[in-house]
A and B are shown apart, each in its own frame.
Chain A
């Protein structure tokens, strides 16, 4: 190395997204039958900013009675208004919601970041635009349903009960509500207890859009609120995104009731780097695969498989790239990795990190500074992991990657498929025939070749095996909300 003339130290100054135009109320009520109503129990719970542990607002806690009111409102709206409306008119309402969301996109992004801990870069550039686009995409389907199901008459199901997770709060609400409305159903939606705010903002938008009262109802609360929706006898359809364990409980709970279900559950997706891969882009794909949204992604590429010939160079580059990640205040436009969504989730992640260490795997963590307040976890990788290691089998739902090496294509296909999950997979290779061999043999609902963690309203998403059933997005996402005659 040449001798340095002078030591240069250039760092990015804080660049915080403004919160001055954001209104977060002290208290949020339930959105039932087009109105904001107090919970019948009178109970509220706090929602906090996980990056600072500050209370943002208190949220109404819906019980069975509130859920019953919401379902009744949804049923009434279904019977009296929504099921009688033409597809064309339904579509226009949904377009209107999409537009209102676009107008308030920055506000929604900031609130999402405050409430969920995700970086403003992601909520601004990914979550919110995708959520708006999802409504816009499905709006256009409302009067074209018969084209999606050749030779069949299409009917709506009735009232859909929808339960969404905390990792992409508004986006998941869009994934659930938009196709349900387009297909002619009415909705009772429950956001996750740690991330209710953007759902309530969406409720305001829906009210402003003039959507008939009761077509969309949003009830906030914990798991028991969700259970009340699932078990309500007047629900025709349950759509759930969350853990596989809860998904199984839901399937059991609705067994024999005739309720239709779609379940979008957990994963432990393999990201496979062949020795002819475009290495630098693959490294970026690994980073994006596991550290996107702090690894709170059901399809996260959490199991990395690297062909032995390039393993050393890939791991070296990966570590270097990890060190260049900026972790910190999610509101800072330069932050790459934000806060873990909750203390509970941070505890779970740390538990798995401990297990990994105890299992003898070698850990490397990004050499970044971690904020003192709030819930943070540095990007973490484990090498020397075996297929039988716990951390390579169970979903961690955090920024923790396991790395295994392999020698041949057949070996990696077998290892990648050797899992009860089947949500997603990644393949990196410069050779077309090899790419398609892998993409066709991997048991996964979404396969990203030479890319990772890409989403689009037109692209169906959902899993094989214990990652659930049904698809969200695209033409195929409609079938979750129709019956065919």
Chain B
């Protein structure tokens, strides 16, 4: 007798927990063949709010961790993902990706995580500076995370776009609230499970599913969100983001990228979500002593 398969209930991911949406609503996206993907949470404004609160709560700890530690945690995500490769390939296939492309996408995603894991404790070495000011001061500039980043993930991929946005943002010490692809949401929630088992503190990554028309506005008007990572090129959305971002001068970055390209990764995706801090301190020159010591 054939065994009855256990179907997965897709939830959302807030503060390290997997609640259903507080609204109790759901939607039922279908794949290109017209098959039901599942009953997916239709997150509400309040879910956005809760996610931002969770992200803020996690921010202090995450941003102050040693960069080396964040590097290890990102690498750990890659390890976990490697272990669940088959599941992601299956999910991608269910969502309409070919077997070959699905395998490629999952592998590239893993490699991308490893790529950004390596950057965590290096980007500051490349992008910071000691500034040779004319007065008797030691002056240096170094990056600090911007804060809470709202990520509007690639609408046309389920996994690679999502991870390509999250990885540079958290590698730089930010926490984030992610709106998953509306029509391809499955991998986002499964990826949340990977994160949840990878030493990533709860709240660093929060993932919501649902309608962008409903969720973009509460996210981009939220006064405690500091930046937006938008993956896409819809001019109406970009305009809305930049307009409502003006409320608290969010840093708005829009990327029209094909994340399946090997080259769609670089240092600047990290530094776009960094603030530069310049510190001055006097240098005492005792008794006029010079280099002739």
Contacts and interface: CB of A to CB of B under 8 A. Distances in A.
A joins B in a complex = yes
Interface of A: 133, 150-152, 244, 247-249, 251-252, 254-256, 263, 265, 420, 422, 435, 439-440, 444-451, 454, 456, 458-462, 464-466, 468-469, 471, 474-476, 484
A151 B267 contact: yes
Contact of A451 (B126, B239, B278, B281): B281
Contacts of B139: 456, 458-459
Contacts of A460: 129, 131, 141, 276, 278
A198 to B, nearest CB: 22
B69 interface: no
A69 to B, nearest CB: 28
Contact of B279 (A249, A422, A439, A465): A439
A474 B129 contact: yes
10 contacts: A150-B267, A252-B246, A256-B238, A445-B276, A446-B279, A451-B137, A458-B132, A458-B134, A459-B139, A464-B277
B278 A251 contact: no
Nearest to A248: B246
B278 A445 contact: yes
B interface, over-half SS = mixed
Contact of B277 (A152, A263, A445, A465): A445
Contacts of B226: 465
A240 to B, nearest CB: 12
Contacts of B243: 251-252, 255-256
Contacts, number: 117
A470 to B, nearest CB: 9
A244 B134 contact: no
B86 interface: no
A484 B268 contact: yes
Interface in B252-293: 266-268, 275-282
B247 interface: yes
Closest 5 CB pairs of A and B: A256-B239, A255-B242, A456-B133, A251-B246, A255-B243
B277 A446 contact: yes
Nearest to B134: A456
Contacts of A471: 276
Contacts of A475: 129
A458 B133 CA distance: 6
Given A152-B266, A449-B280, 12 more contacts: A244-B249, A252-B246, A255-B242, A256-B235, A256-B236, A420-B248, A448-B279, A448-B280, A449-B279, A449-B281, A462-B276, A469-B249
A476 B226 CA distance: 20
B251 interface: yes
A450 B283 CA distance: 10
A464 B145 CA distance: 10
A318 to B, nearest CB: 20
A155 to B, nearest CB: 14
